[in-house]
Structure 1
Amino acid sequence: MLTRSYTSNITDSSITDTRNYFILFILWPFLSFMVALANFSRKEARTVVYIFLIYYGLSFVNANVAVDAYRYALSLKANSLLPFSDFFKIVGGLYSDTTVDIIEPLISFIVSRFTSDHGLYFGVWAAIFGYFYLKSITLIYDRYIVEQNMNTILLMAFFVMTIPVTMISGVRMWTAAWIFFYGAFRVITEKNPRFLFISFSAVFVHWSFISANAILLIYYLIGNRNIIYIPLAVSSFVLPHIMAPVFRVLALRLGGGMQQRYAGYSSEGYMLAVQEGAAQSAWFMRITNDMVFYYLLIAIAVIQLRHSSMMKEKHEQNLFSFLLLFLAFVNFGMPIPSFGERFMILFFLFATAYIIMYFSKLSGNKIYFLILLGLFPLLLYSMINLRLGFENINAWIFSPGFGVPLFAPVLSLYEVLFY
């Protein structure tokens, strides 16, 4: 009787909260989003956060011709002019010399049946991205942020900002990254092979995750072999070019679009273009990734060398072993522009999750020196990601009234702040 009454009260409370969130979202979406973030432990709040991410995608500002999003929008317009019968041509061209992914062409063609406006297109991507983004955040939050302390809160903030929703301007890579992370993390920490299907599905979003899944599969099959992984990780810093021939042979064996894409990424012209682009970037943008990378390595090394007795649980040992193997993979991929650097960002997610595991065991609100050491690079990285997102954030999304950014004249947050 008491149980039934208690359950009924919880259900009634959930219904009331859902109704209140819905009303507030209609009146002021951004305020509803902020309230939901403050109450993230509740299921209703997480639903509001997810809906707001989709709302962001629907109001996406796409004015920068230099980013991938602009090209996707042009492709959407081109697809809208095609008859439905061309759907079979698109399917037939998948993994050809020109197309190496499945999901993006399908989404583009299906959305083009309804509209040529990019808003719905990025809304669909925000829904996919947001689903795995929130699943991953919720997974870490529920497991390790139960008893919150300032150390885990700061690390969690960085985890959230490592690949934020503003990065759907490059929809394929970063959506695939969250899909892979969620599946791989469950495989690593739970040894549950069912989640391999989720991590493998990232390949359909971005072809390069064939390699990341190969690393995950190797780890799953041979397990925690640190006697192999440690020398491999160390050698990857000394001889990063040693694996380039292996990548080349693999691309040749796969043929078609895979070979074409690898050839494009590894060509001298592409490498020179990347180097010129880096040279034109501000100094802090050039070195921020490296600062975060080496900070995370130092933090993991300190935990292992000084506090390894606290990290003896099986899932913690599993993640550490995988980090060693994935670190070697990232370093060996560095000679290929846009390959190693992109997977370095994915390494940040796994490494941050490991450090969160450690600090979740410490009580109190004292901020430890190891966290203070990383505040500058982690904050700088997060601020740069936020600044880059200003060009795609619709300024009207902060205004009261649902739907305002969908109908008001296009105005990016960048234009409001810097013009």
Structure 2
Amino acid sequence: MTAPEQRVSVAVPIGAGIVCALVGFTSSFAVVLAGLRAVGADAGQAASGLLAVSVAMGAATVVLSWRFRIPITSAWSTPGAALLVSTGAVGGGWPAAVGAFLVCGVLLVVTGLWPRLADLVTRIPTPIAQAMLAGVLLPLCIAPLHGVVDDPAAVGPVLLVWLVVLWLRPRWAVPAAFVAALVVIGVAIGRDGTAPAFADLLPTLTFTTPSFTIGALTGVAVPLYLVTMAAQNIPGVAVMAGYDYDVPWRPAMTVTGVGSIVGAVFGGHAVNLAAISAALAAAPDADPDRERRWVAGFTTGVSYLVMGLGSAGLVAVVLAAPDGVVQAVAGVALLGAFAGACSSALADADSRLPATITFVIAASGIGIAGVGSAFWALVVGVVVWSSGIGRAGPFRRL
């Protein structure tokens, strides 16, 4: 093989890794920022949290791909960020939320070291777990509709670009919507003269001393852990298995869990195995030679590290955005996850009633005793499922 041919072949997995990172980052960072802001982070703390999870998932991807020579990619927990949006402010404020993030990270590490905990998570009925996720995602998915009604001139172009690119190149639909949002925001900044100062664009990590409250642990830490496991880690392993890669469970959970712990004190919510975006680095398109696709994973991690440097700038852009624009990007980014969750929740006719009850409670956004709706949806859903209500056949228990 000639040198030019070698350069071209190496460029293939490198390009795939860059695409994987671009799609993963631009399609969901708005959800992460919205989640951090919802549980009490100010602009600086949200920027620090975005930087922390970007560095953590980038480092985890680099380490795992390099060590095991397979394209293991990690990601921030997008469903977990959506959960934070639906949860809202917690008792104890931002320090309590950070404490919940820290506990979630510890649980992820324990899952790697003690497989029995992972077995317990997998025993939660899939329809119940997916119905909870669908209920959490619903309010975010309908936000673009409210936005386009309230401000069609600002939100309309974002949704139009998304629809057109969805038809032409579905993979790039959400990144294209993000670019359209940047144009809309740029026009708004030019009109209002509210450009951010240069100091506001510099990446900065802000340490937060965690505090621990019962409400935050039950309303944030536990649901965040469960949704991260059920919607990210377990599907992520399945996606990789579909491309004939055996993810080393204990190292993967340990590395992403430690990354979550370190990132938590700087505002990061959770790091996990990538699920949907994992295919971009693991599929044959990344490299016909499966033994070299780890290069795509490694490149994905490096790209995440680089893109994390723009976290403060992204927060400044979000703060300057007209109402509804960023929410529109976040909403269309979550439609695929919402559709998948609904499909899994309602696939089995015998489980539709328990799943529907779970979905309705999660989507309601109610809080009881300072604990958010996701937790109560899971509790009620498991109880109804275990009782056999609405399901054919004998009663079955977990």
TM-score normalized by structure 1?
0.25
Q: Which has the higher contact order (CA 8 A, sep 6+)?
A: 2
